[in-house]
Amino acid sequence: MAGVCPRSRTCSRKRRSRGRRAQSPPTRLTKSRSPPPRRLSPLSAAELRDHVANELLPLWAEHGVDPEDGGFHNRLGPDLQPAPDSAKRLLVQARQIYAFSATGERWALEVASRGFDFLRRRFLDPRYGGWFLSTEDRSKDLYAHAFALFALAHYHRASGESEARALAESTWEVLREKLADPTHGGFFEGASEAWEVRVGPRRQNPHMHLLEALLALGWRAEADALVRLFHERFYDEKSGSLAELFDERWQPLATPEGRIVEPGHHFEWVWLLHGRSAAPGLFDFAYRHGVDADGGVFDQVDRDGEVVAATKRLWPQTERVKAHAVRGEIERMQQALDYCFAHYVDPGHRGWNEHLTRAGEVFSDFMNATSVYHVVLALGEAAEALD
């Protein structure tokens, strides 16, 4: 993982041992509220991996882990102090377990192992099966379960922990039994603690991440069923757009909200489907309508391609990186990476800002733990494309 830190300067920090990194990550406690100058030189695979292993994850190991109660904090404020959230979320625990399992660093895997122990102890439902939504909410949520599966897959791969694989199998079994829709396909959004199904609008997003988890587990037949659902229900081949909200029969909602699409999810599906299924209009729609002149990805457009929300969250930028990486578009991928490091990475502590205005100004007060997953995965894909 050695290399030069991202951006134009050379990293001046001395390398620390893997064991010490998790305890004393190298961070600075200054917070910039305006973007630094745009970087023009390309990033190498070594630089990307170095940023994750020696800057990003050490920051979250030092400031994002709860040393008293266990588990991972939801958010960090401008001073790198945890936000005063009362409950810990399943989604946060699962994504951080993935992030600390994915690098191959021994110290990081130790952090993931403690997260795995906390996950079992505080979120696993011994009575009804599945996982609680948070430490204060015992309901069951499809989106969060998808990431529980994803975390278990990667933690098992990194650690060889057999219990992680067994928990993934039991989680998938309860999801199929309790949330699968035998009439219209796919899965219901969630349920009560005792798995009484929650009725309401349905989303493609949890199914996308469920596909991601199934692929990580190597369960191809189960994954293929979700790819078919994508083509039959989510994707409009004529326009190339991807609907977000549906009624119980998987018809797009006939409301203004039902016309909103998210370019970031288009890019994410492009990455997931590559080499498995063809949806050529998906990338074209997102790139044509969802990318601003400065290279940033908009939060939302409508199904005609008109901009609805010109703000720019972090995660759509990382999904664009992944889409270019898997398509072998190295120059475009480098441009997207350049945009990310110039506008989202704090020049002081080297964490990633969560949300920008269209002009590139930071307006989010917190860094979300859930976004670490997006960064780690995108930079890993980019590094692999550059190898």
Per residue, the 3-state secondary structure of 124-186, as one string, reads: ECCCCCCECCECCCCCEEHHHHHHHHHHHHHHHHHHCCHHHHHHHHHHHHHHHHHCECCCCCC
Number of domains in the chain: 1
Q: How far is CA 279 from CA 258, 267, 337, in A?
A: 21, 11, 24
Helix (H) or strand (E) run with residue 322 in it: helix 314-327
- Asked, for residue 115, whether it belongs to a domain, the answer is yes
Going 346 to 46 to 3 to 105, the CA torsion angle's sign is positive
State the Cα–Cα distance between residues 89 and 219, nearest whole angstrom: 26
Q: CA torsion angle for 292, 296, 301, 306 (degrees, to 10)?
A: -10
Residue 234 falls inside a structural domain:
yes
3-state secondary structure of 187: strand
Q: Residue 311 in contact with residue 370, Cβ under 8 Å?
A: no
Q: What pLDDT is attached to residue 255?
A: 95
Q: Evaluate whether residue 349 is within a structural domain.
A: yes
Contacts of 347 (CB under 8 A, 6+ apart): 7, 32, 36
Asked if residues 76 and 127 have their Cβ atoms less than 8 Å apart, the reply is: no
- What is the domain range of residue 65? 40-386
Residue 75 lies in a domain: yes
Q: Which of 186, 277, 188, 189 is nearest to 237 (CA)?
A: 277
Which residues have a Cβ under 8 Å from the Cβ of 283 and sit 6 or more positions away? 266, 267, 270, 323, 327
Closest among 98, 99, 19 to 51, alpha carbons compared: 99
How many CA atoms, within 13 angstroms, populate the side-chain half-sphere of residue 188? 20
The distance of Cα 374 from the centroid of its chain, to the nearest Å, equals 4
Q: How far apart are alpha carbons 206 and 143 in whole angstroms? A: 4
Q: How far apart are CA 326 and CA 370, in angstroms?
A: 23
Give the residue among 156, 159, 169 at the shortest CA–CA distance from 130: 169
Spatial separation of the C-alpha atoms in residues 211 and 226, rounded to whole Å: 6
- 3-class SS of residue 50: helix
Residue by residue, pLDDT tens for the chain (387 residues) are: 333 233 332 233 333 333 333 343 433 333 334 444 445 446 899 999 999 999 999 999 999 999 999 999 999 998 999 999 999 999 999 999 999 999 999 999 999 999 999 999 999 999 999 999 999 999 999 999 999 999 999 999 999 999 999 999 999 999 999 999 999 999 999 999 999 999 899 999 999 999 999 999 999 999 999 999 999 999 999 999 999 999 999 999 999 999 999 999 999 999 999 999 999 899 999 999 999 999 999 999 999 999 999 999 999 999 999 999 999 999 999 999 999 999 999 999 999 999 999 999 999 989 999 999 999 999 999 999 999
The pLDDT, as a whole number, for residue 42 is 64
d(CA 86, CA 136): 8
Whether the Cβ atoms of residue 296 and residue 356 lie closer than 8 Å to each other: yes
CATH number at residue 120: 1.50.10.10
Residue 186 lies in a domain: yes
Cα separation, 24 vs 203, in Å, equals 41
140 close to 192: Cβ distance less than 8 angstroms? yes
- Checking DSSP bridges between strand 307-309 and strand 300-302, what pairing results, if any? antiparallel
Count CA atoms within 13 Å of residue 249 on its CB side. 2
Residue 26 lies in a domain: no
31 found inside a domain: no
Whether residue 238 lies inside any domain: the answer is yes
**Residues 66, 118 contacting (CB under 8 angstroms):** no
